[in-house]
Amino acid sequence: MNLKHISLSVENHVGKITISNPPTLNALNSLIIKELGQAIDVVAADSDIYVLIITGDGRSFVAGADISEMVNLNPELGKAFGETGSSVFRKIEKLEKPVIAAVNGFALGGGCELALSCDIRIASENAKFGQPEVGLGICPGFSGTVRMAKLLGPGKAKELIFTGRVIGAAEALEIGLVNSVVKQEDIMDKAMEMAGMIAVKAPFAVKYSKEAINNAMDFDSEQSIEMENILFGKCFSTEDQKEGMAAFLAKRKPLFTNK
Cβ 104 vs Cβ 122: under 8 Å: no
pLDDT value, residue 105: 95
pLDDT value, residue 25: 95
**22-48: average pLDDT:** 96
Q: Is 133 a catalytic residue?
A: yes
Cβ 113 vs Cβ 143: under 8 Å: yes
What is the tens place of the pLDDT at every residue in 144-187? 999 999 999 999 999 999 999 999 999 999 999 999 999 999 99
Are 173 and 218 within one domain? no
Query: How far, CA to CA in Å, does 102 sit from each of 12, 42, 131, 138, 212?
Result: 18, 20, 18, 27, 24
Question: Is the pLDDT assigned to residue 2 strictly greater than 90?
Answer: no
Separation between Cα atoms, residue 165 and residue 27, nearest integer Å: 19
Are 233 and 181 within one domain? no
Question: Is the pLDDT assigned to residue 3 strictly greater than 90?
Answer: yes
Instruction: Decide if 136 is inside a domain.
Output: yes
CATH code of residue 188: 3.90.226.10
115's enclosing H/E stretch is helix 110-117
Q: Which residues contact 118 (CB under 8 A, 6 or more apart)?
A: 54, 92, 93, 99, 100, 101
Q: Could you say which DSSP state residue 130 is in?
A: E
Expressed as residue numbers, the domain containing 233 is: 203-250
Closest C-alpha among 52, 195, 191, 63 to residue 127:
63
Are 223 and 159 within one domain? no
Instruction: Decide if 1 is inside a domain.
Output: no
pTM equals 0.96
Closest C-alpha among 43, 166, 51, 170 to residue 112:
166
pLDDT value, residue 1: 72
Instruction: Decide if 42 is inside a domain.
Output: yes
Catalytic residue among 11, 113, 125, 159: 113
Are 218 and 193 within one domain? no
**232-256: average pLDDT:** 97
pLDDT value, residue 237: 97
Last residue of a domain, one of 158, 178, 199: 199
Are 178 and 239 within one domain? no
Q: How many domains in the chain?
A: 2
Instruction: Decide if 259 is inside a domain.
Output: no
Mean pLDDT value across the chain: 97
Instruction: Decide if 141 is inside a domain.
Output: yes
Are 121 and 215 within one domain? no
Cβ 50 vs Cβ 198: under 8 Å: yes
Are 127 and 223 within one domain? no
CATH code of residue 210: 1.10.12.10
184's enclosing H/E stretch is none
Are 192 and 117 within one domain? yes
Instruction: Decide if 185 is inside a domain.
Output: yes
Which of the four pLDDT bands, split at 50, 70 and 90, describes residue 98?
A: very high
Catalytic residue among 11, 76, 125, 133: 133
Instruction: Decide if 166 is inside a domain.
Output: yes
Instruction: Decide if 258 is inside a domain.
Output: no
Last residue of a domain, one of 184, 199, 214: 199
Cβ 181 vs Cβ 236: under 8 Å: no
Q: Is 113 a catalytic residue?
A: yes
Angle between helices 154-163 and 144-152 (to 10 degrees): 130
Are 186 and 209 within one domain? no
Separation between Cα atoms, residue 228 and residue 216, nearest integer Å: 9
Are 36 and 114 within one domain? yes
Which phi and psi angles does 11 have, rounded to 5°?
A: -150, 125
Separation between Cα atoms, residue 224 and residue 227, nearest integer Å: 5
Are 21 and 65 within one domain? yes
Amino acid at 20: S
Are 70 and 185 within one domain? yes
